[in-house]
Every structure is written in C-alpha cells, then in structure tokens.
Structure 1
C-alpha cells in the first residue's frame, strides 16, 4: 500500500456505511453437495479478470493499488503477508486480492443460478487480512466486509451479514464466513454481493477464496432403535440387517420428504426403490454397505441434488476374516537379552499373541511385535481392533535362548620382577582381552584387573575378570642392635619371615638374646618370591652394670668386638672426662677411676672398631 497522509486515513475512517450490520452464521444442519464453487483457479500468471459486471474495481496484472484487484497466486505486495491461497491441494493456487477503494462500497457481485425455490442455502467464503500487525505504523485500517444475498431482480434483500473488523495480525490464518438464506417461491436465482464497510487507505487489504453455495437443511441423524450410529460385524457372523430411523432436528425444515440410498463405496449412491419414509429396514447384508437418506422440505425437491440435503451415513462394515499373520522368522538370542518376535497382517487388523496354538492365554494385544526373554514357541493371531474377528489359525514363532560361555573370575598373585600367564580357560571361542590381545593366553608383568570377552559360535558372550596382585620382594630398611636383641625393619609391608642362618625362619622381626658378632640377616616372603640378605655386626652393649662385688654384672663389657682387628674403647662421665681408654685387649670397665669407685650415674662410651664407630650411654648402679 502506498503511504498516504495519516490525517487523511483518520478522515476516511470516520466516513462509513450507515447500513445496519447483520449476523453471519453457518448452516446448523446437514448440507448438500456444493452447487456453486469459485476458487479463482491456479497458475503463475495473474488473471484472468473477473467477468464484466462482477466488480467496479480495476483489474491489474501487477501491484493492486487502491480501488484495484488482481487474481494471483502471490500476495507479496507492499510488504503484505505472502501467503498461499486457501484451496486445499492447490499448486500455485490463486485468490481474489483486493486493495480497497478510498470510498466504502460494493466491490464484488455475482449471480448464482439453478437454485431451487423455497429452499434454504448456505453461502460461505474464506477471507484474510493481508496487512501485517506492524503495517501502517500500527494504524492499519481493519478489513470489514458485508455479504449480501439479493433476489434475481436485485430488489429484495434475502440476507446479509458483516465480518466486523478483522484487524491486522502477525499470523496468517484464513477465516471462513457464512450466511444462510432461503429462496422465495418461484425463485431459482440469487445475486451475491460483497462490499467494504470501511474506506480504503493504509490498510483494508484482503484476499478472498473458495466461495461456495450449498443447500442447507436439518441436522439429520440415522440410528437404530438401540441408538447404534454404525455397525461393524465379522464375516463369520453371517448376514445382518437393521431398521434405520432418520431423525431431523427441525432446525430448518418444517416438513420432510425422504429418499433412502445405498452405496458400497460412499462415492456412488443408488436410490432404494419405494423407501421414502423416515425408516428403512435394510436387506440382509453380507458385504460392507452404507446407507443415507436424502431429505427436502418439499417432496418435489427430494430428488433434486441442488435442492436436497443428505443425512449422516450409517455404516455397516463387514470385516473379512483376516489371513493368518506372516512371521518374520524364528528368533535366537543369548541369555540376558530380549528377543523381539514379529508378525504382520493386513493394515486394518492387528496382531494378538498367545502361549498356545488354540485357546491359551492372551500375552499381548494389538502389537505386531512381542518382546520376551523366555525361550519357547509363541503364537500370533490376526484380529480386528474393533470387534472379535480373528484369523482361523495362529502363526507359531519360536524363541531360542542360548547360554553364554561359562566363566569363573579369578584372583591371582605373582612375584615382583616376574611375569604371569593369564589363561581364558575355554576352547572354541574367540578372545578379546582388555590388553587388545586375541589369544587364549597372555603374558603380563603388571598388577591390575584384566578382562577377556569370550564369544562362542552362537555369538553369545561372557566376560572373565582376573584380578592380578603383585607380591613385593622384601626391602630391608634398618637393622639395629637393642641390647642383646637384633631388630629388623622393612620399608615395605608383606607376609615376611626372618632368619639369622637362612634355614630357621620366624615371623617376628626381632631376634632376642643374640650374642654379639657378625651375622647375615635373611628376609623372605612366605610365597617363596625370593630372599634378601644383609650383613650386620651385632654389638651387644649393656644398658647398665652393677659393680658391687657380687660377681654378677660387675664389669661393663660390650660383646662382639673380637671380630674387629683394631678396637679403641673410651668411657666418659657426663662432663666429658675420660675415665677409661682401652683397645682390643682391654675393652671393659670395672666402674673405677684411678682406684676410686665411680658413683651411680650415667656414663658415655665411644667405640672405634676398624672403620666403624659406636656411641651411646649406660648406667652404673650400686
């Protein structure tokens, strides 16, 4: 839409029709087949123009300006919404595109002929406001159309109704509007008119499509005396029949004339001779049949398809007995998996699953697939989802469940600095170790968790897990003399045994009451992973002595120094005074200094034995 003065818009908006609007509405009952349809065609070329006398607007094959229209498959003008036409299934479908004139008034009229006198009709049309919500700076003139039905003399207004204001929006939804009218006695033609209730300007831009005229009558239901509105039976039930009753709601007609019809496809309908009342006793039905009734207010119009309406359809559907379902084949799975048994049947039927070829228990209903992990033979039957109409036999489908390879997990140990052979323990399977190896055995040298996936000829698998623990070789940390005891400490933990001769082992790391001297210390693990040794000079240094003349512990004398070539032996008091100095031939002290007995106290010693030096203290007790 070309921009105009905003104030000019306001002026035009204040000028409008003084005619009173009326109520639009759809036929409240049943309708007949369309008598007149206008969908404006399809194609990529605009046009053709409407017949002369249809509109006072100017036809254009380009952009429709104010007071112009086009017949086109596009609405992409002036930034309008670019939408498809309304007609379902159209390719490049066209619609009637109108840019309202500056002056409100009529923009379309068309005569509709071949109507029936004294008959109700429904006119309907689809319409859309082409302006977007943001068009005209948000001040777009709304669409407001009045539909009118005049007699063929264009002097008697039979019906009219207004759409009321249809405002611009961000959506693009077609809306249907309808108007119900009744022809006068002797009247077989009417004139349809459309007019703009709003003036043009920036806005009031619309598209119209799918104009339809249909006869309009009562809402007529067809049912049995037990209120059935349709019937589904199985072919093995034999023939069926029903007494049908047509019930109009008197919303349009005050009197009723009837003609019953029958069809096998709902496309071609055949009148049933002499069935012209509100009830029908159907013949014996053995194949699917459909029944309806034509109704008119006047008997003269009941067989005129432009004048009558048709009731709801009463279906008698005779289902053929379904064929036995087709199997997708027996299934083999491995234990722990879920098998999916499959069977297929005709599209209008479903599959039920049983545990027996006849009777038995219903396991699953209305599903082509049955899932189970339990081995056995299962049976599929076809049936109708609406009624009991089952196949005469069932299809057997077997599920076989194979056991996977039998494995036992293991916990193994190996000695440090050695290797270990791990064995899958099964033959005639494939192997897939966590190391990537594919052999039955692998050699490893690191502790940890190892797995092997074993797959048999049936494709069933099991995983064997081996926990491999390393037994560490003992590591001697320290060996000390504690009086007559030797204490061994290791830097690692384990089930260790200790020995001074390599033959006799003990679990304790403390050797008690050991004479001084040079020893070899042996430490081994109880799993026989090897022995470590270390030489140790055990010097037994007393912690105290009692020089009281009782011949018991009267001399302070370390044990074991005899193994050394050169020994220096020194005793000091707490003030560092040298009280005794000796050598290999004199490495003891009687507790005196220069003939005087030393008092009770702590004293210190320094022993130099070859290249080794020992220091410590001891107590003199009286």
Structure 2
C-alpha cells in the first residue's frame, strides 16, 4: 500500500514489576543490540474486515458494520464515522491491515495473545504502534475522550503480572500521528512463554478510538560494537587493493549480559548470513577478501543460546566494501590513465593537441593518431577562364572564385506605328564600331523592311560589346465610326475599334480627343483617321441642343435663345411660353431665335418654357433668361 506520512513519536514507558517471584525489568526500549524478531503481528493484508482469532479479545467483532463502542475490526482502512482515514503502519505492504478499536464504555482488556519460544534468563523488548483516530476537528471536537492504553506481561499461567506500563492520555490532533511504545523485561529461570495483554484505561463515548499495528517481541542484549585494529567500522577498498586481510573485535558494553559467548557470521549482501565455522572468540582474523563482504557476531549469555535467534543478539555490522575498478580504459594517443584509490576509478589526463588555426579555406586538418599530430591537406582552386568583360576575385568564405561582369548588352526599345497597307523601314542605329547585325528573322543587314505589326529584335555587336534593339510595331487600324452624339453643346465621336485616332469636324484641323466642346447646333461632317495615316472615314451628323440659359445684353455671347440646326429636321415646331403659360413666340419648319422681347418690350429674368415637336416627337423643357 502507499506509505502514509506519519509523525513518529517514541514513548518510553517506565515499567515496575510486581509479582510474588523475583522479577528483573528494564525501562523503555532496548538500549543495546537486538536479535531478530521472535514474534511479529502486523494483522496481515487484504481488503474489507476480518476477525481476530478466538480468545484474542473480549470486544465484539463489527463483522462488516461500523465498529461502535466496545467493538473492533481488523481492516485496511479506518474510514468509519468521522475518524481519520489512514492506512496501516507497516511499511511497503499493499492493503495492509491493522486492529481498529472503538473503546468500550468501561475500561478493560481488548487484546490478549500468548508469546512462546522465549529463552530463560533472557532480556526482551516488546513494542507496538498506536494512533488516536479521532480528529480534534471532528464531531467530538476539543472534548473528545483521549486514548489511554496499558501494556501487561503475564506469566503463562495468567496469574502473575510480570511487567506493565501505560501510555497515559493521548489526545486528539488535527492530523493522525502513529506513536511507538515499548518496554523491556527479563525472563526468569524456567520461563519460556508469557502472555501479552492490552487494556483500555479510558471510557467509551465520544472519542477514545484507536488503531494498533506492528506488535514485535525480540531479544535485547548489550550494545555490541565491532571494529578493526584502527577502530574502523567500515573499510572501503578498490579491487586493485585486494585480496584484503584484517582482524576484527566485538566489544559488548556489559549493560545486559554478564557472560558472553560468540559465533561470527559473514554475508555477501548484508541480508543472508552464514556462520564462520570455528570462529567463536571475541576476535577474528579475516583474509583473502576480494569482493564486498559483511561481518557480525551473534552473542548470548550461554553457549547453548548463541545460535538460538530467540535468545541471542547480534553485533553491529563491519563492512568491507570492494568497488570494482574495471579494466583500464582505452586511451587516445595523447592520454594517460592512473588509478584513483579514493574514488576507485581511472583518472584520465591529457589534452588533444589543438587543431591548427589560420588555415586557408581550401585547407583541412585531420588528426593523425599514429604521429599524434594534425595533417594539413588541400590546394587552392584554379582561376577560371574569363570572357573579355569578366574579372575574378577569390572568395575565402565560399572558397571559390567569384566571377564579376556581365556582357555589356545595351537594351534599347523603339515603338513605331504602321498604317494599314503601308511598309516601314526599321533602322538599327548604333555607336558600336565595326558592328554585325542579326535580326530575329535571320537577316544580317542594318535595316529591316516590315509591313505587318509585331515585335522585331536585332542584336548588334562586335564580339565584346552588344546592343539589343527591340522594335515594337503597332498597326493603326482604319477607324470605324460607331456613333456620334450630342451632350448639351458637345459633340462626342465614338469608334467601335481602338487605335491612335485623330478627329476633325472640318477635314482640315484634327485633334486627338474625340470630344468637340461648345459646338453650335447644325449639320456637320465628322472626319476620323489614324495618326500619321492618310485614310479618312466620314459621317454626317446633325448637332442639335437646347441652351439652358441666354443673356440678351449685346456682349456678343449668348445674346439670343437660338435653336440652331432645327431647320435641318424634316418637320419641326417650336412654341415658347412664359411661366404663366402665355405664348410668346412660335415657328414651324423654320429656324428659331428669340431675343428676349415680346411686342418689342424686354421680358424680365425668369424661367421660360418651350414645347418642341421634331419629326413628330414632342419635347417639353425650360431655360433661363438672365438680365
């Protein structure tokens, strides 16, 4: 099971022996060396509850229920009521169990077990671990009844009390604390068994709840030390220092035993021991030790008991620890190895010669383990063959020759236009002396006659210098007039194709824009041609618009409301009204112009209305007269 964190407290019980026989007792725990346990009770492992053997307790078994006052259970948990939930005390077991007690309302015995196999006239130590499982923060609070347990050693007739002691009150705490209690006693002549009893000195009620675990009986003897002639208890050796020999001595302090008999033991692991035949004295000489070996002595007060684990004790352990040095390491040519007896290892010293510095980039250094030095190899790369426009510099970073210079090619571009049906001559002009020419079409002359649009390139050079001239020839299409429209006083000419076109309304003066602004109404001939081309396309267009205002102030600009061009329509009617609907002027199939008077009198600034009927289409609007 998981190891529960425990605060361990050792409680020494002062024990007085009251008996009709002479009883010798020792207080507290054994102060000397102990033998192997002759009795151990850790209550086993498993889950759930189990009962004690018959006759072991006067308490009732809970039998799966929560243990009430006067009840007990053997369980791997204390998860009852509001008690602490803890594992047992035994280290490193899984689902380890413990004896769980809910004390009766009256004091009395709750555990009784016989201990047999003891030796006469031998000192023993009894010990056990207890814990108060009632938390001070629980239901009972600060008034929880403390636990108080007595330990009693009776003779095997259960009539004579040989030794006893009490824990005293152990109150509740905020965390569970396992505590160990023990006492030391000596058997009498002829006495080989005793009875251990545990009693509740408190009363039942709210509190006085406990768990018990790890009850142990073992022999108790002198404090017995072991050392060599230099008073060492341990010797650490390196395997190159073997075989090892020395003499050992065990020294009892005579606090328990009055006489001493010995049997020396040895072990290769400190756990499994075997007797050294014939070595029964206080001193021993050991020799021929090549591996780690442990030594100790069994000690008893009589020769008959020296090999009885129930009667003897064992000394401290003398360790001869031998560390394997291992084989000598494989060394580099610059290294040496020496043995370090302190760490029992090989100390390797020596440093590889430093690699040479300042190498050229084409050089490399390789360590030669035969000569134990660096070999340098490598040759600088040869300079490449260069063209007349190139130069070379050695690059120590890339360790290559960097070639600089581009063939001096002068790229030139010319953009030309070609009228439809005409040819132009492409002239390759250059400042290069004694040039040669190579056109993309294969010609080798300085010019090329072409009659179609396209891109023509010629390379001009003299073997070192070179110029590439690219001629982009764009054919100017014959324009196609798609539409002509009037937007107020402007005439806009639209073509269905795109090109470098020029526009004219008189056939003489051409412009690049297709918009003619501030044009008087009338019948026009529209001219369109390609730039620098002779082919011209024409169309007739009647430009007509209604002015938005006029200013009859005789300044020569907009002095009349003149509907120029209206006479060119097949049929036309014009009616002019003031804002009250009074007819001011009208015409039919004739030019129309109004000077802003009625019956010879000037009319005021205002908006005036017109009705136009052109080719049967009626149009209504207004304009402004400004004075």
How many residues of Structure 1 are paired with residues of Structure 2 in the alignment? 342
Q: Which residue is 1:523 aligned to?
A: none
**Pair 1:69 & 2:47 matched:** no
Residues 270/202 of structure 1: CA separation in 2 closer, same or farther (3 Å cut): same
- Aligned residue for 1:56, secondary structure, equals coil
Q: Deviations over 1:303-345 (max 9, x none)?
A: 1111111001111122221345699xx9xxxxxxxxxxxxxxx
Contact 2:228 2:249 in 1 (8 A): yes
**Pair 1:43 & 2:46 matched:** yes
Of the three residues 391, 397, 411, the one matched with 2:346 is 391
Gaps in structure 1 of 5+ consecutive residues: 1-18, 331-354, 360-380, 407-424, 430-622
**Pair 1:78 & 2:81 matched:** yes
**Structure 1 position 223, deviation (Å):** 0.6
Contact 1:323 1:392 in 2 (8 A): no
**Pair 1:214 & 2:221 matched:** no
Q: Using the alignment, how far apart are the partners of 2:90 and 2:241 within structure 1?
A: 44
Q: Deviations over 1:556-584 (max 9, x none)?
A: xxxxxxxxxxxxxxxxxxxxxxxxxxxxx
Q: Using the alignment, how far apart are the partners of 1:117 and 1:399 within structure 2?
A: 79
Q: Using the alignment, how far apart are the partners of 1:56 and 1:267 within structure 2?
A: 40
Q: Which residue is 2:500 aligned to?
A: none
Q: Using the alignment, how far apart are the partners of 2:352 and 2:305 within structure 1?
A: 61
Q: Which residue is 2:260 aligned to?
A: 256
- Aligned residue for 2:145, secondary structure, equals coil
Q: Deviations over 1:187-229 (max 9, x none)?
A: 1111000001111111110000111111111110001222111
Residues 85/324 of structure 1: CA separation in 2 closer, same or farther (3 Å cut): farther
**Pair 1:357 & 2:359 matched:** no
Gaps in structure 2 of 5+ consecutive residues: 1-16, 19-24, 362-394, 400-627
Contact 1:121 1:216 in 2 (8 A): yes
Residues 395/144 of structure 1: CA separation in 2 closer, same or farther (3 Å cut): farther
**Pair 1:203 & 2:231 matched:** no
- Aligned residue for 1:391, secondary structure, equals strand
**Structure 1 position 101, deviation (Å):** 0.3
Q: Deviations over 1:126-155 (max 9, x none)?
A: 110001112313101111111111111112
Q: Deviations over 1:450-498 (max 9, x none)?
A: xxxxxxxxxxxxxxxxxxxxxxxxxxxxxxxxxxxxxxxxxxxxxxxxx
**Pair 1:155 & 2:152 matched:** no
Q: Which residue is 1:165 aligned to?
A: 169
Residues 254/357 of structure 1: CA separation in 2 closer, same or farther (3 Å cut): same
Residues 241/53 of structure 1: CA separation in 2 closer, same or farther (3 Å cut): same
**Pair 1:183 & 2:187 matched:** yes
Of the three residues 301, 310, 314, the one matched with 2:318 is 314
**Structure 1 position 70, deviation (Å):** 0.5
**Structure 1 position 273, deviation (Å):** 2.1
Q: Which residue is 2:35 aligned to?
A: 32
Q: Which residue is 1:192 aligned to?
A: 196
Residues 427/308 of structure 1: CA separation in 2 closer, same or farther (3 Å cut): same
Residues 111/356 of structure 1: CA separation in 2 closer, same or farther (3 Å cut): farther
**Structure 1 position 162, deviation (Å):** 1.2
Residues 397/220 of structure 1: CA separation in 2 closer, same or farther (3 Å cut): farther
Residues 286/131 of structure 1: CA separation in 2 closer, same or farther (3 Å cut): same
- Trace 1:472-491 onto structure 2 (pairs within 5 A): none
- Aligned residue for 1:282, secondary structure, equals strand
Q: Which residue is 2:491 aligned to?
A: none
Q: Which residue is 2:150 aligned to?
A: 146
Contact 1:70 1:97 in 2 (8 A): yes
- Trace 1:102-117 onto structure 2 (pairs within 5 A): 102-117=105-120
Contact 2:334 2:352 in 1 (8 A): no
Q: Using the alignment, how far apart are the partners of 2:304 and 2:274 within structure 1?
A: 18
**Structure 1 position 382, deviation (Å):** 8.1
Q: Using the alignment, how far apart are the partners of 2:355 and 2:218 within structure 1?
A: 64
- Aligned residue for 1:236, secondary structure, equals helix
- Trace 1:435-450 onto structure 2 (pairs within 5 A): none
**Structure 1 position 104, deviation (Å):** 0.7
Of the three residues 58, 61, 64, the one matched with 1:59 is 61
Contact 1:27 1:122 in 2 (8 A): yes
Residues 402/140 of structure 1: CA separation in 2 closer, same or farther (3 Å cut): farther
Contact 2:26 2:184 in 1 (8 A): no
Give TM-score, length-normalised by structure 1: 0.51
Q: Deviations over 1:216-258 (max 9, x none)?
A: 1111000122211111122222322111111111222121111
- Aligned residue for 1:138, secondary structure, equals helix
Q: Deviations over 1:345-375 (max 9, x none)?
A: xxxxxxxxxx97237xxxxxxxxxxxxxxxx
In angstroms, what is the RMSD of aligned CA positions? Answer: 3.2
Q: Using the alignment, how far apart are the partners of 2:204 and 2:339 within structure 1?
A: 65
Q: Deviations over 1:152-207 (max 9, x none)?
A: 11122222111111110012221111111111111111100000111111111000
- Aligned residue for 1:284, secondary structure, equals strand
**Structure 1 position 394, deviation (Å):** 6.7
**Pair 1:285 & 2:289 matched:** yes
Q: Using the alignment, how far apart are the partners of 2:356 and 2:103 within structure 1?
A: 77
Residues 38/234 of structure 1: CA separation in 2 closer, same or farther (3 Å cut): same
Contact 2:340 2:347 in 1 (8 A): no
Of the three residues 228, 231, 234, the one matched with 2:232 is 228
Q: Which residue is 2:127 aligned to?
A: 124
Contact 1:36 1:213 in 2 (8 A): yes
